[in-house]
Amino acid sequence: MPTFASRGILLLLPFLLLACGGSGGDRPAATTDRPVIGVSVLTLTHAFFQDLTAALEAEADAHGFDVVITACEFDIARQKNQVSDFVVRQVDAIVLAPCDSRAIGTSILEANAAGIPVFTTDIAALSEGIDVVTHVATDNYEGGRLAARAILDAIGGSGQIAIIDHPEVESVIMRTNGFFDELEARSAPVEVVARLPGGGVKDRAFRVAEDILQAHPDLDAIFAINDDTALGAVAAIEKAGRAGTVRVVGFDGTLEARRAIRDGQIFADVIQHPDRIGRETVQAIVRYMNGEPVEDEILIAPSLYTQQDALADPLLQESE
């Protein structure tokens, strides 16, 4: 006497099982002799982390490692689960770009207790008592100083500026610290008229920029703490019809931002080198596995990228 209910279950099952199995076949098997690196980054929707993980994967493969890449997509609880799963799978090394520099502490302790080495990349972990082998990142403080110099260039040394911030993230705090220190060191006659959080994402930055433009008709420039923020600001500036009068300096050097720089929408970018960060991270893991000393912090110098660089950029010519 099969009821509709049990028939319903039977209908549902094969589909459920198919769906849940997903791409189970092509995963890196935990049983091969190749050591496994478990990676959990902040997000895979940013070009920065896409470039970083791609370079990391290629470099790891060259050194005989398998890589499992996950992203927490801004949910720290999810990142905690991902690290727990890495510990269960007994990966040989864990690479993290923490969603929250402090809340990640308990997860790192869990990996430490299992004897799995932890490496952080781009975003540092700041909890006390944790053991991180090394932190590989852009020298964000230096990048902030570069950005301040670019802004001064853009506005001719004096004027009103605004910052679209994202203070939840440690690397951004470093950028803004460097930015303000450089302004102060040069005792530049600039007025910071607004400093608002834009979440590091385009749509929120767009709305924040609109409000800033509304409130400050004499604004000369915006420092955007990453490229998505910069592109959001550019959209707002163009909508307000103030392109050319309000300059934007961004941070990261994604492809989309490079195009905007070439087209004069963004004045300049402090560019990071995510591919180098990914490669250096793997090289640090290799040195660690070989029992060689690894320095506590590996800083990758950023550089300034202007319209001149964009016009000569082979990356932009290829993609057109």
Partner 1 sequence: MLPRLSSPPNRTRIQQAVSQFFSNYGMLLVLLLLCTYYAVVTLEEQNPRGADAAEALLDDLTARVPAGGTVLIATKANEEDRVFAAALAEGLRAAGYTPAGPVEGTPQDLRQALEAVAAQGRPIAAIATTRDNAAIVRNLQRQVTSLAETPVLTPASYRWPTFLRADNIRNVANQIVVIAIIAVGMTMVIITAGIDLSVGSLIALSAVVAAYLIQAMGGTEAGTGAMLLASAAAILLCGLVGLFSGFVITRFRVPPFIATLGVMQIASGLAYIISEGKSISAIPDGYVWLGRGADLFSLPNAVVLMILIYAGAHVLMTRTTLGRYIYAVGGNEEAARLSGIRVHAVLVFVYVVAGLLAGLGGIVQASQLKSGAPTYGLMYELYVIAAVVIGGTSLFGGEGKILGTLIGAFIIAVIQNGMNLTGVESYTQKVVLGFVILGAVLLDMLKKRGLR
With CB under 8 A as the contact rule, the residue among 156, 187, 241, 290 that binds partner 1 is 290
Q: Is 76 in the site for partner 1 (CB under 8 A)?
A: yes
Size of the site for partner 1 (CB under 8 A): 72
Tokens of 257: 């931002």
Does 28 sit near partner 1 (CB under 8 A)? yes
Binding to partner 1 in span 130-149, by CB under 8 A: 133
Q: What are phi and psi of 304, to 5 degrees?
A: -90, 140
Does 8 bind partner 1 (CB under 8 A)? Our answer is yes
Find out whether 55 and 63 touch, Cβ atoms under 8 Å: no
Q: Which stretch binds partner 1 (CB under 8 A): 122-130, 247-255, 275-283, 304-312?
A: 122-130
Only segment of 101-109, 134-142, 145-153, 273-281 that touches partner 1 (CB under 8 A): 101-109
- Closest CB 171 distance from partner 1, rounded Å: 14
Determine, following the binding rule CB under 8 A, whether residue 3 of this chain makes contact with partner 1.
Answer: yes
Q: Is 283 in the site for partner 1 (CB under 8 A)?
A: no
103 binds partner 1 (CB under 8 A): yes
* Largest Cα–Cα separation, the chain: 86
Q: Which is nearer to partner 1, 69 or 304 (CB)?
A: 69
Q: Is 296 in the site for partner 1 (CB under 8 A)?
A: no
In whole angstroms, give the CA distance from residue 230 to residue 207: 12
Q: Which is nearer to partner 1, 159 or 232 (CB)?
A: 232
Binding-site string for partner 1 from residue 220 to residue 259, where x marks contact by CB under 8 A and - marks none: ----------------------------------------
Told to check if 99 binds partner 1 by CB under 8 A, we report yes
Residue 129, both tokens = 């008592």
**Interface stretch with partner 1, choices 137-145, 208-216, 243-251, 284-292 (CB under 8 A):** 284-292
13 binds partner 1 (CB under 8 A): yes
Residue 207 within binding range of partner 1, rule CB under 8 A: no
Q: Which listed residue (62, 88, 185, 301) binds partner 1 by CB under 8 A?
A: 88
Among 153, 168, 181, 210, binds partner 1 (CB under 8 A): 168
Q: At its nearest, how many Å lie between partner 1 and the CB of residue 91?
A: 9
Both ends of the chain: CA-CA distance in Å? 65
30 forms part of the interface with partner 1 (CB under 8 A) = yes
Q: Which of 187, 291, 317, 318 binds partner 1 (CB under 8 A)?
A: 291
